Structure 1
Amino acid sequence: MTESIKNYISTSMTINRIGVALSAEKNAGMLIKIILKGVMKIANADAGIIYTVHESGKVTVALMHIQSRDLEVDSHSNGDDPYNALVHSKVIKLTGSSIFNNVSINVPDIYHSKGFNFSINMCFDEMIGYTSKSSLSVPMKNHENEIIGILQLINAQDRMTREIIPFSDDDEKVAQNLASVAAVAISKNKLLEDFKLLFDSLVNLIATAIDEKSPYTGGHCRRVPDLTMMIAGAACKSDHASKLETIFDRIHLLDERFEILKRDAQISFLKNKLSLLKNNGDALQHEMDCHLHTFIEEIEDDRKFLHACNSGRNLMGESDQERLRKISVKYRWTDPDGNEKHFLSESELHYLSIPRGTITDEERSIIKSHVNTTSMMLDSLHYPKSLRNVPKFARVHHERMDGKGYPHGLSGNQIPIEGRMIAIADIFEALTAHDRPYKRKFSLTEALSILGSMKEDGHIDPDLFDLFVREKLYLKYAEQHLHPEQIDDVDLSKIPGFACTV
């Protein structure tokens, strides 16, 4: 009687521990291990195996524990072990009735049982020098009554003599109940994984749809997360594109106009020179040569000035803007249709006169509005607790460390670290993207130099930039996403803002 009471108390405590684990344990693999060891203790079994039945029909050993041998096989830690290789082809034969007829199989001796094939256990015995005798196999069903696994107990032991005995009816009932609990744990874990995969798939689908809407930004939403994960995030915006980039860089059109001006000047000079030769005007020829040379130099100087304006790297002062206006009307050129025009159109003058950067106030307003659109879209979604900060991280990746970013003008530690990381990834991807025909792709050295300057200007997080360079994350990203010609040998000592230590 006393022994029965002890067993009852021990069983109750084991079931209570399993109940606590159900609510507290987040790791499904650990929970299954607790359940298997618990049911082994209640039934006083020396060994236990949990098999997983996959949707494809393949069966694998999820967990095997043999107490007397201190042996444990866990598929989560070693999915290529020889036991799994063995079970793939033979486990269905082991418990065919258990799987397909939803019944338990309780046999006193697997080596003398009729109607069941326990060759898998016999193979285990041969591999590890073990002797399986009594066996209890119970199907594990999910909430849709589908068989998702099998719980098998091996070698029940008499609590006093340790002799191998058959499993009792009570053992079978307990095993059935706890097999259901284990099935719930496995199903819950699979549902969570499925929902996570579904969520990730939806995010990728939406990102792809947004990117594919523009043929010039495809891949951006795939590459930025890759780089963000490498440096643990990204946040900010800036792109030293050129001011005349609108689907293609129009600075070459200005070069063509300058060439036309030089050609016209040279033709006019030759005509005048020919006329002077006919009229014996030798004295004026030298003066004309000097005038042509001066004019060509002036054209070249103005052309270089327009290129500098177009780069967007320098601040455009009032004197620079005044010079632009003069150049605009200083030269006249004739288009292919024979129309004479000012050298710069109103649109070109407008873009080249941008005081700083490469975009107009109107374009900047449009760009900034996408943050508000992003916020509205993300805020409309319901997130699990682990993802509730996603909208906050996304909306701050255009803030700057010096407080001059948008939309809220946050600075320093007011910007979440995740957002600061996203910024660096966003900028570096934009600088090195090779699928945007309207801008040239930068090499690693050029991109890192621009990032370094942005660090010095208070644009990006200095510590994250140093981490990005020091750990050569740029190279890891480049090997996966950049063209070979972009991957040059970076001299870190020449990167602005980075203290190179050897």
Structure 2
Amino acid sequence: MQELNQTQIAERLDQLTELSVQLGSDHDKDLLLERILTVAKRMTNADGGTLYRPSEDKRQLEFQILINDTLNTHQGGSSGAPVTAGPVPLYDEHGERNLSAVAAYAAHFGLSVNIEDVYKADVFNFSGMVKFDQLRGYHSQSFLTVPMSDHEGELVGVLQLINSKDSDTGEIRAFTQTDQRFIEALAAQAAVALTHQRLIAQLEELLESLVNLINIGIDEKSPYTGRHCQFVPELTMMLAEAVHNTSTGPLADFSMTDADRKELWLAGLLHDCGKITTPVHVVDKATKLETIYDRIGTVDTRFEVLLRDAEIAALKRKLQPGADAAAIDAELAQLQQTLRAERDFIRQANVGGEGMKPEDQERVRAIGRRRWTGPDGVERDFFSDDELLNLTIRFGTLTDDERKEINNHIVMTIRMLEALPWPKHLKNVPEYAGGHHERMDGKGYPRGLTKEQMSVQARVMAIADIFEALTAKDRPYKKGKKLSESLRILGNFALNGHIDPDLFDIFIRNKIYLEFAHKNMDEKQIDAIDESQIPGYTP
């Protein structure tokens, strides 16, 4: 049996050291597994090798990489060819441990198995291997099977080498004890690398799950916000990819790695996480008088009281001697008509809209000066100060204080995200997520940043956030705008310093808006678009 000289041992130690360095820097699982197997083959001068990983249910060993030099076979890993061999069961149909397969035996007992000649071994079942040899005209002889376990003793893989060759004669020989010890050392290093990679993947999965958990909480609190939290990152990535692929213009130098994409996607998912602190009656305020409920019903009741009191007063007047019943009835009818018209007007005013006329605001105040008597017998103004404040809101359904509460969500988003110990490759998440309400001219919030102070990613997310909000068809306080109107508004934003005009140009030129619309908007909203008529865009 060939023994190693000092030079060969030194070479193997160098290979182990080199592999250790490579294992720490390789983040591709398939390439990592292939590197482990190829170094093991080279170290022992093996003709072939296989690397197994346990299945998710731990019931079988699945082939990950299979290499054989003589047969010119390479499956899995960088080959791109799928592994055709079936899995090795770890348990039989009765739930008993499978000890007849050498790989399964090594996996169960955590022991290396070194066989000089498999055709002379009677401990394990090599019928499948014999059939393989007959089919391929191959001769399997020496086997070295080494389990790979993590720091807790859990199996992470099995490394199997076949037919070690004498480096001088090329004759097949047995794997030596030195071979076995080196491969066991290699397997230990590989197990650490695989465990490290698995733990990183688990942590990333945990992080994404926590992000989804936050969004589930927001979604349960407000289903309207939940949809927004899913669509904004989707649209953000669509536009970011278009910018990445742009080769001309002021954004030609922008590019993203896969890590950059993951960072931006995560920021998109978290861009409104601060809304979890915003009161639900503010987030979902569909009408001006809505709090926990829509107070328009209470106002309707007051009108009914005024109508009832007017009728009672008319009846009492008719009982007076010499009363003119016809005149009283006509006066009552006129008053009731006025009250019902005012009730209808207040119902409409409660809906909110793009802009309430000053004369309509004054009419609300005039109606509010009516007096009515409540159940307690006390006469008071028809509207409370808070009701009057809400009913005269000019734009939308939010008061100034409520709008500040809504705007505060971005402050809370930044505070929440900056409080987290982000790893280096995700350190920009707070900046990307926290900048989508800033403006290019510095008039945005919460920090009043200008274009030059913002990353491209944050500027991309600002466009995605606005466009999704304009087109959203599920908001309680508005209908989704048509595509043409949304682009007109966004185009004006590009002209007045609200959004980045260079990004807007890419958004239109690459028809990102249309791709998103067909995927996520109601077909009734998608009208014909003449790009030459979009403000701020030159075809």
TM-score normalised per structure 1? 0.75
| Aligned-pair CA distance for 1:195 | 1.0
Q: Cα gap change, 1:59/1:97 in structure 2, threshold over 3 Å: closer, same or farther?
A: closer
**AA matched with 1:48:** G
8 A Cα contact 1:106 1:135, kept in partner: yes
**AA matched with 1:63:** I
| Aligned-pair CA distance for 1:152 | 0.6
**Aligned mates of 1:253, 1:450 — CA distance in 2:** 37
| Aligned-pair CA distance for 1:204 | 1.0
SS of the aligned residue for 2:203 comes to helix
| Aligned-pair CA distance for 1:444 | 4.9
**AA matched with 1:325:** E
Partner of 1:47: 48
| Aligned-pair CA distance for 1:182 | 1.3
| Aligned-pair CA distance for 1:2 | 12
5 Å-filtered alignment, 1:66-85, equals 66-75=68-77, 78=80, 80-83=82-85
**Aligned mates of 1:243, 1:353 — CA distance in 2:** 12
**Aligned mates of 1:456, 1:123 — CA distance in 2:** 74
**Aligned mates of 1:127, 1:447 — CA distance in 2:** 67
Q: Is residue 2:154 matched to residue 1:152?
A: no
Q: Is residue 2:440 matched to residue 1:432?
A: no
**Aligned mates of 1:64, 1:386 — CA distance in 2:** 34
Q: Cα gap change, 1:148/1:26 in structure 2, threshold over 3 Å: closer, same or farther?
A: closer
SS of the aligned residue for 1:82 comes to coil
8 A Cα contact 1:351 1:360, kept in partner: yes
**Aligned mates of 1:124, 1:72 — CA distance in 2:** 16
Does 95-104 or 320-329 show the bigger shift?
320-329
Partner of 1:321: 358
8 A Cα contact 1:401 1:458, kept in partner: yes
**AA matched with 1:103:** L
| Residue from 405, 418, 421 that aligns with 1:382 | 421
Q: Cα gap change, 1:388/1:104 in structure 2, threshold over 3 Å: closer, same or farther?
A: same
**AA matched with 1:10:** E
Q: Cα gap change, 1:59/1:473 in structure 2, threshold over 3 Å: closer, same or farther?
A: farther
5 Å-filtered alignment, 1:141-220, equals 141-214=149-222, 216-220=224-228
8 A Cα contact 1:324 1:349, kept in partner: no
8 A Cα contact 2:352 2:395, kept in partner: no
Q: Cα gap change, 1:354/1:127 in structure 2, threshold over 3 Å: closer, same or farther?
A: farther
5 Å-filtered alignment, 1:265-344, equals 310-311=352-353, 313=354, 321=358, 324-325=361-362, 328-329=365-366
Q: Deviations over 1:271-302 (max 9, x none)?
A: xxxxxxx9xxxxxxxxxxxxx9xxx9xx99x9
| Aligned-pair CA distance for 1:481 | 4.1
Partner of 1:499: 537
Give the unaligned 5+ runs of structure 1.
Answer: 255-277, 279-291
8 A Cα contact 1:28 1:185, kept in partner: no
| Aligned-pair CA distance for 1:26 | 3.5
Q: Deviations over 1:347-393 (max 9, x none)?
A: 57645755767643212221222222222222222222212222222
8 A Cα contact 1:328 1:349, kept in partner: yes
TM-score normalised per structure 2? 0.70
SS of the aligned residue for 1:448 comes to helix
Q: Cα gap change, 1:252/1:422 in structure 2, threshold over 3 Å: closer, same or farther?
A: farther
**Aligned mates of 1:186, 1:389 — CA distance in 2:** 28
Q: Deviations over 1:431-469 (max 9, x none)?
A: 333443x22331551433333333233222223333334
**AA matched with 1:194:** Q
Partner of 2:8: 7
**Aligned mates of 2:5, 2:536 — CA distance in 1:** 74
Partner of 2:247: none
**AA matched with 2:472:** A
5 Å-filtered alignment, 1:94-133, equals 94-122=102-130, 125=133, 130-133=138-141
**Aligned mates of 1:375, 1:454 — CA distance in 2:** 24
Does 98-107 or 447-456 show the bigger shift?
447-456
Q: Deviations over 1:158-185 (max 9, x none)?
A: 1111111111111111111111111111
User: What percent of counterpart residues are identical?
Assistant: 36
| Aligned-pair CA distance for 1:214 | 3.4
SS of the aligned residue for 2:122 comes to coil
Give the unaligned 5+ runs of structure 2.
Answer: 92-97, 241-263, 276-282, 300-325, 327-333
Q: Cα gap change, 1:447/1:89 in structure 2, threshold over 3 Å: closer, same or farther?
A: farther
Q: Deviations over 1:76-128 (max 9, x none)?
A: 77585423xx2356996342321112222222233342111234544654665
8 A Cα contact 2:31 2:77, kept in partner: no
Q: Cα gap change, 1:183/1:449 in structure 2, threshold over 3 Å: closer, same or farther?
A: same
Q: Is residue 2:102 matched to residue 1:64?
A: no
Does 132-141 or 372-381 show the bigger shift?
372-381
Structure ranking higher on relative contact order (CA contacts 8 Å, 6+ apart): 1
